[in-house]
Amino acid sequence: MPIAAIAFALAGSTLGVGATPIAGLIVLLWLIPVFCSRPQRIVLLWLGLPLIPEIARTPFVSMGSIGPILLLPADIPYIFTIAYLVVAAVNRPRETFKTLKANRFLALFLLMIAVSTLINSPRYGKMAIGDARKTFFFFLFPLLAAMTIKTLEDLRRLALDVHLLAVCMSLVGYAVLILHPTVNRQGFVGGEGTLVVLFALFSLLIFHANGLVLISSSVDAVTFVLFLSVLLISRSRTVFLAAGLGMLCLHVLRRDRGAFLLKTAALAAVLAAAVWVAFESAPSFTGEFMEPVAGLLHPYSDKTASWRMEGWDKQLAGLSDSELLFGKGLGNYSNWYYQNVKITVGAHNVYVEIILKFGVLGLVIYALLVFSFIRRMLLVRNKLPRGLVRACVEAGVVNFIAAHASMTGYDFTLIILVFYGLGIAAAGLPIDDPRANLPMRGRCMSQLAPVASFSAGLR
């Protein structure tokens, strides 16, 4: 570390970089051993990222630059994660190889990102790295989760931290709504924030169905109402699509489908009655609520949806045969025109974005990643009775599948890969551990006591 710090200081002074960026890098270098000795701290750094734009109400706030490179808050967990994975590959090569083999399509997708960045850096310069950092470095999180979550306590902590993240984002959203009443209610927690809340709500249902209580029965009931109110107020079309697909997955996974269907119907009736009362008491709320929802049935009636779909058509139509197969590579930001206005923003569609960057070949690799994940999770789930591991596997499956409906209007977001990582981390734990299989109805996850190992006869 001292040698590396001195080298950075000398290099920075030679290149004329300011003292503040050099000091920041040196601090990061000194902190790497602190975080890598307890890699769960790196996971917490990742989970803090969605709160930054929510609190600041802007995209990731700039933290300064090093020469031509702009540093973002997301770069901090990126640096620690890459450092940890490199050290783990050197010190524990067999474990690293085993993890990569178990998640071969994730490793292949990450390799495709790295190769595209290296190939296109001479062509597009720093934009190639920036493009990868913006969206695709999120795929480092599942690999980090698979390498660091080795005990049920680690798994429990990750599930609880995601739940608390959703609570914090909901409270921050309501605080913004109260302090700034004129803010757009449809996005008062932001796009990613709404997804975090939806996935936390699904996870809450799944954990209770597996006999687990996240905090306490009363607190869980309050947070359920909190999450549901956030979703109804935000009225995000793509999140509603994800909610519908997620509910379908929940119904398919549940063995007691009849009881689950009755509970769903009862909840739907209560929500319908609440919405009817709201409509009757505030007629102006009816049009405000129905306007974004109507876009699900008539997308072209919405200006935002129509220009996005026109952008998808124009960007895909501009690809040559070779670009359609292999993509334009990372660093290429496609421009198109909408009503004589130059548009330079992203595609706002994961599938279109993958084709633009990696081509149909990249989309096929991603489809294999999704298929292998779902297949592996279902195989593991079918071997597990109710308990913590099964709950985490089901939460990973339901939320990751539901996310693919929201991806028609969003780019990749961190929370999607968090639940991907939660699933593969749970699947990597020993299935015969009695603590993984124990039903714990009414017991708080934060107070789970260790359980004695199986006896020789039970084994």
User: What is the pLDDT tens value at each position of the chain, 459 positions in all?
Assistant: 455 444 544 454 444 445 555 555 555 555 666 556 667 778 888 888 887 665 554 334 444 444 445 567 788 888 888 888 988 898 899 999 999 999 999 999 999 999 999 998 888 877 888 888 888 899 999 999 999 998 888 899 999 999 999 998 888 888 877 777 666 655 567 778 889 999 999 999 999 888 888 888 899 989 998 998 888 888 778 888 898 899 889 888 876 656 666 666 666 676 666 666 655 665 655 555 555 555 555 555 666 667 777 778 888 887 888 888 988 888 876 676 666 767 667 778 899 889 989 999 999 999 999 999 999 999 999 888 888 999 999 999 999 999 999 888 888 889 999 999 999 999 988 765 555 444 444 445 544 433 333 223 333
Same domain, 83 and 163: no
pLDDT of residue 40: 76
Report how many domains make up the chain: 2
Let me know if residue 452 belongs to a domain. no
Let me know if residue 333 belongs to a domain. yes
- What residue numbers bound the domain in which 49 lies? 1-91
pLDDT of residue 451: 34
pLDDT of residue 377: 94
Spatial distance between the Cα atoms of 59 and 72, rounded to a whole number of angstroms: 10
Domain final residue, candidates 39, 71, 91: 91
Same domain, 176 and 99: yes
Same domain, 139 and 35: no
Spatial distance between the Cα atoms of 357 and 334, rounded to a whole number of angstroms: 10
Same domain, 115 and 87: no
Tokens 């071997």: give the residue: 383
Same domain, 116 and 215: yes
Identity of residue 416: I
pLDDT of residue 15: 44
Helical spans, DSSP H, in 136-216: 140-148, 152-179, 191-209
SS3 82: helix
Domain final residue, candidates 91, 116, 133: 91
Spatial distance between the Cα atoms of 373 and 423, rounded to a whole number of angstroms: 9
Same domain, 151 and 286: yes
Tokens 């939806």: give the residue: 198
pLDDT of residue 379: 92
Contact 143, 150 (CB under 8 A): no
Q: What is the distance of C-alpha 155 from the center of its chain?
A: 16
Same domain, 397 and 248: yes
Let me know if residue 339 belongs to a domain. yes
Let me know if residue 34 belongs to a domain. yes
Spatial distance between the Cα atoms of 1 and 39, rounded to a whole number of angstroms: 18
Same domain, 279 and 375: yes
Same domain, 86 and 139: no
Q: Of 283, 186, 248, which Cα lies nearest the Cα of 401?
A: 248
Spatial distance between the Cα atoms of 32 and 85, rounded to a whole number of angstroms: 12
Q: Of 445, 392, 440, which Cα lies nearest the Cα of 202?
A: 392
Let me know if residue 120 belongs to a domain. yes
Same domain, 45 and 119: no
Domain final residue, candidates 91, 111, 138: 91
Q: Of 33, 123, 126, which Cα lies nearest the Cα of 87?
A: 33
pLDDT of residue 61: 42
pLDDT of residue 441: 42
As separate numbers, helices (DSSP H) first and strands (DSSP E) second, the chain gives 21, 6
Same domain, 386 and 237: yes
75's CB contacts (< 8 A; 6+ apart) are: 63, 133
Same domain, 135 and 65: no
